[in-house]
Amino acid sequence: MMGTKQMKKFEVGARLLDLWVPPPDAGRPVGCVATTFTFDANHFEEQCLGRFLSMQSDPAETLKAYLIEREEKLSQSFACVMADQRNVTAQRSLRWHLLGVRLPGSGIQHAKLSVLLWEHHLRILIGSANLTPPGYRSNLEVIVPFDFSPAGGAPLTLATQCLDYLDKLASYAPGSLDRLGPRRALGEFLAGARVRIGAWPTTAQSSRVRCELVPLMPGDARGHVLTQLRQLWQGAAPTEATILSPFFDRNEDAIDRLYREFNALLSTRGDREIHFASSGRKTPTNLLQLDIPSRLAESPLRHRSTKHTVGYVAERQVITDGDAFRPLHSKALILDREQQSLVMYGSSNCTAAGLGLIPTHNAELNVAFQIPAAEASFSELCLNALPPIIWLDDDDLKELIGGLECSDDATAALAVLPGGFVEALYRPLPAGGLLELSLNPEDLPDEFTLLLPGGASLLQAEAWRTTYGASDHLELPLAEIASGITVRWFNTEAIAFTAVWPINVTDTSLLVPPAELRDLALEDLILVLTSARPSFQVLANRSATKTPAGPSRAATDPHKRVDTSRFLLKRMRRLAKALEGLRRRLEMPVASLEGWRWRLQGPLGPVALARALNADSRQDASFFVSEIAATMKAIRVAPGAGVAASVLQEEIAIVLAMLRELSFEHIADMPRNLAAYVEHVYSDVSL
């Protein structure tokens, strides 16, 4: 059951980006997964992901602070986007994964689903908006949010169904669950999400409104969208249908099939009404142009007892200081009988592919509300979520022009990466890295070139055949990290095409941090670990206040002439404060194994601190590093859902072995009593 409070929590007409902001007491971000058709990586990272992670810095104002904050927060949170393969992008941060979805035949990945998980809150967004600036800023869109928490919320079955949908959709993306890479990381995140929400209670809802997912996926036994709506409707068949869609089919056979299916939803007795609405505009001659196929609105299959009405959503919408171009992108299908309604929002356009009426249909996701007569206020709320529709009379001067020239379902002009280019993974190594390419030789063009950013050639078809023996798996050294490969090839008619082949990382915890976090000095690390301020603020401010060395003024006070900064006792006090800060960082709840590894071996972790001490402290380093090890052995790990405490302890054991090796580098130069102490600290640590 779905309570009306779930829909009323977010105002109609609210900024869609606000849906990515965590609610109060949500806790730390755990991870997010989003699906889209068209995609803008910068918009997703800076606007959507930035809000999800509660980023405080702005790349347009303080780039260094932004890079440091992004690195640390993304290292502790999972993020993945599944976009249609035609619309993946080459430039992005490798800290989050990008999977290109390839459906059988001509179907596209068209679902718009976002799953946002914090420690104590889950939010699911289902609607029509792509992860692009127009989708979130200018288009007329509909997104339905669902909130879940230990205090209650929407039905948990809806959440698990969305997680199952993501699992199924991921099966059409490259990669395997059996090897390191984004597919495996995604599977682990979804499994951890199920564990986390599985401990939350299911609260009873008082409303009689029911909410159901209406998914569309290749091979799904539930059938096409209209079949599912027919099964959801309860009681006597509806007498009225309203279809709002920005895009329609142009093929007459497809239009007739659509009309028959719509007509089959309605009662066969008495009068019936079908209302069609799309985008529209008024010409200088006051002619109203509607983007609706005339064959659909004036169907030759119409029964004499069926009435048709057409309407439009004005492309120019009134705003505070005038008007603005607001393209229609909302999709809705509403069935009515007297006071009973069924309202569906989502990603499905009024096309055969979008509704699943052809074998090679799209992947879509919609949500339907069954609204009984007693819930008229909820029905009104649903209608208010739609853009204002201007319905026309029969005598209005209008022209049905058959749909827009460019539909977001019309992808023929977009190059589809040949299926032979399966998966590109970057495997970080201590020095540089390897690019692992998985290929399917049977599905590769005869001639192709792989280009790195900047146009440098990575591989050509001839070299693949002669040097690598047409292998289906290559490992190529990669001097500079890249997030995408441009593939250029020719078809059988010698026409050139290009497409993006996204690169993902096998293990994001092994990525080299940006220059702003690389090889931090000991003083920088101690400042970060002892400060109550966020690390990105500390490091950015320290960088801004550093002044070049110059001639120093001679000290007149003899006490000030003595440099006490190297005194063991004073340094030990400073280190003790840093170790306390390190302990607090390590005892924070962890969301993933990769995040834990980064926390241990990343630029602000115990290994980085030990190396900085080794470089700065010389003969005292063995003792100081052993103190880090003693702190590590005493911490109380806080595993997150899906990350076992035993796994975290295994990673601690690896770090302790690394610290032992660093401590023992200078142990021969130490006094015997201190050396004995160091040996005692590592007495139960094996290399």
Minimum mean pLDDT among 314-328, 570-584, 592-606: which range?
314-328
Amino acid at site 86? R
Output the pLDDT for position 543. Answer: 65
SS3 of 676, please? Answer: helix
Output the pLDDT for position 549. Answer: 47
DSSP string, 221-243: TT--HHHHHHHH--SSPPSEEEE
Per residue in 390-427, pLDDT tens? 999 888 888 888 754 434 444 444 688 999 999 999 99
Whether residue 119 has pLDDT greater than 80: yes
414 token code pair: 């977009």
Looking at the chain, the whole-number percentage of residues with pLDDT higher than 70 is 89
What angle (nearest 5°) sits at the alpha carbon of residue 513, between those of residues 509 and 516? 155
Per residue in 199-223, pLDDT tens? 898 766 657 889 999 999 998 888 9
CA 532 to chain CA centroid, nearest Å: 30
Instruction: Give me the CATH code for the 210-400 domain, please.
Output: 3.30.870.10
| Residue 591, C-beta contacts closer than 8 angstroms, at least 6 positions apart | 28, 29, 30, 31, 76, 77, 78, 119, 192, 640, 643
Mean model confidence pLDDT for the chain: 87
Cα separation, 509 vs 414, whole angstroms: 34
Output the pLDDT for position 409. Answer: 46
Nearest to 246 by CA among 371, 332, 150: 332
Identify the residue whose tokens are 């749909």: 403
Q: What ranges do the domains of the chain cover?
A: 4-198, 210-400, 421-510, 519-531+565-681
Strands (E), 188-290: 210-216, 240-244, 272-282, 288-290
Amino acid at site 280? G
328 token code pair: 């229609």
Nearest to 614 by CA among 628, 600, 595, 602: 628
619 token code pair: 């003969």
Cα separation, 394 vs 497, whole angstroms: 48
Output the pLDDT for position 7. Answer: 42
DSSP string, 302-366: --TTEEEEEEEEESEEEETTEEEE--B---EEEEEETTEEEEEEES--BSHHHHT-SSS--BEEE
Pick the CATH number of 4-198 from 3.30.870.10, 3.40.190.10, 3.30.70.260, 3.40.50.620: 3.30.870.10
DSSP string, 547-616: ----PPPPP-STTTTS--TT-HHHHHHHHHHHHHHHHHHHTS----HHHHHHHHHSTTSHHHHHHHHHHH
577 token code pair: 């404060």
What does the pLDDT average to over 530-555?
67
What angle (nearest 5°) sits at the alpha carbon of residue 507, between those of residues 449 and 73? 110
Cα separation, 512 vs 598, whole angstroms: 10
Output the pLDDT for position 560. Answer: 45
143 token code pair: 């997104």
Looking at the chain, the whole-number percentage of residues with pLDDT higher than 90 is 53
Amino acid at site 424? A
Cα separation, 318 vs 334, whole angstroms: 26
Identify the residue whose tokens are 């250029």: 488
CA 659 to chain CA centroid, nearest Å: 36
Pick the CATH number of 421-510 from 3.30.420, 3.30.70, 2.40.50, 2.60.40: 2.60.40
Per residue in 454-509, pLDDT tens? 888 999 999 999 999 999 999 999 888 889 999 999 887 888 999 999 999 999 98
Per residue in 236-284, pLDDT tens? 999 999 999 999 998 999 999 999 999 999 998 889 999 999 999 988 8
| Residue 450, C-beta contacts closer than 8 angstroms, at least 6 positions apart | 457, 458, 459, 460, 485, 486, 487, 501
101 token code pair: 């979805």
Whether residue 606 has pLDDT greater than 60: yes
Cα separation, 576 vs 530, whole angstroms: 9
Query: 421-510: same fold as 4-198?
Result: no
Per residue in 513-525, pLDDT tens? 877 777 788 888 8
Output the pLDDT for position 5. Answer: 40
Using CA atoms, how far residue 570 sits from 565, 567, 614, in Å, is: 7, 5, 17
Cα separation, 679 vs 663, whole angstroms: 9
Provide the pLDDT confidence category of residue 559 given band limits of 50, 70 and 90.
very low
Nearest to 296 by CA among 403, 396, 392: 403
Reported pTM: 0.89
SS3 of 445, please? Answer: coil
Using CA atoms, how far residue 249 sits from 255, 361, 401, in Å, is: 6, 13, 12
